[in-house]
Amino acid sequence: MRKKIVAGNWKMNKNYNEACNLISSIVDGLRNSVISPEQLVILAPPFPFLEPAVARTEEIEYISVSAQNCHSEEKGAFTGEVSASMIRSVGATHVIIGHSERRNIFNESDEFLAKKVLAAQNAGLIPIFCCGEMLPEREKGIHFQVVEEQLNKGLFHLTQQEIKKIIIAYEPVWAIGTGVTATSAQAQEMHKFIRSLLIKKYKNETAENISILYGGSCNAKNAKELFANADVDGGLIGGASLTAQDFVTIVNSF
């Protein structure tokens, strides 16, 4: 059975004290929630807050901590970069790879992302691999092709065993931080398409066990409707993950 996941991508927000307060408020807020054994909550704060996030959530089985990025090499002369094994060494278990902001602002190519996915897995991290089309691509009707190509180039080099340790996030770029959410039908249509690609490339059973998250202006109001779709296994939440109450409401939206 695949996991139901809500992951909070804090992006470049919060200072140390604010981060610690947000983690504590989320932990407190979730204390009164009924979290089923197949649910997982992931917090993805900026690098300097990974360690306090791990320390504050260590005893809570259903909370994991993720980085927002990693480099493809394990160590060396890459000033300013952080390796997957460094992230793992502070206790984080996941890493977001291929977010559209990394692809578009930092020009990260599919080939580079493919290397990062392997580096993350080699270090024992579970990649949360992001894909999604830009607005002109959807308007041209080529959104399925775009997502298929991103998966083919960035993810489908993985073996049958490796792909099992992956979370996929579909994030249409036109919905990220814009307040415009994909409709429930648009999300389900793309998620089903992604699962069909997984079925074609890997075993049926493998594809059925991979969680596919929706991201892009998912919030406390629309999460329930989005999560009700058969192939939407949760969300990757940006803006709404910065407020404990909203984030907790989203976690409780299954």
By the rule CB under 6 A, 172 interacts with ligand PGA: no
State the catalytic residue, choosing from 94, 101, 171, 191: 171
Q: What's the chain's length in residues?
A: 254
Identify which range of 18-26, 155-163, 191-199, 236-244 contacts ligand PGA by CB under 6 A: 236-244
Please state, in angstroms and rounded to a whole number, the distance separating the CA atoms of residues 130 and 76: 26
Window contacting ligand PGA (CB under 6 A); options: 12-20, 111-119, 142-150, 216-224 = 216-224
Q: Does 217 bind ligand PGA (CB under 6 A)?
A: yes
> Residue 175 is encoded by which pair of tokens?
């919905």
Instruction: Output 136 or 177, the one with its CB closest to ligand PGA.
Output: 177
Residue 99 annotated to the active site: yes
Residue 252 contacts residue 220 (beta carbons within 8 Å): no
Out of 158, 236, 248, 250, name the contact with ligand PGA by CB under 6 A.
Answer: 236
| Nearer residue to ligand PGA within complex by CB, 202 or 227 | 227
Strands 39-44 and 4-9: parallel
Residue among 49, 57, 239, 249 that touches ligand PGA (CB under 6 A): 239
Indicate the residue among 101 and 137 with the shorter CB distance to ligand PGA.
101
DSSP string, 209-220: TS-EEEESS--T
| Contact stretch for ligand PGA (CB under 6 A) within 19-27, 82-90, 134-142, 215-223 | 215-223
Which is nearest to 215 in space by CA: 189, 246, 180?
A: 180
What DSSP string describes 51-118?
A: HHHHHHHTT-TTEEEEES--BSSSSSS-TT--BHHHHHHTT--EEEE--HHHHHHS---HHHHHHHHH
Binding segment for ligand PGA (CB under 6 A), chosen from 68-76, 82-90, 170-178, 183-191, is 170-178
Decide: is 9 part of the binding site for ligand PGA (CB under 6 A).
yes
H or E element that contains 130: strand 126-131
Active-site choice (99, 101, 133, 137): 99
Q: What is the DSSP letter of 10?
A: -
Interface size with ligand PGA, residues (CB under 6 A): 13
Active site residues: 99, 171
Which residues are at the interface with ligand PGA (CB under 6 A)? 9, 171, 176-177, 215-218, 236-240
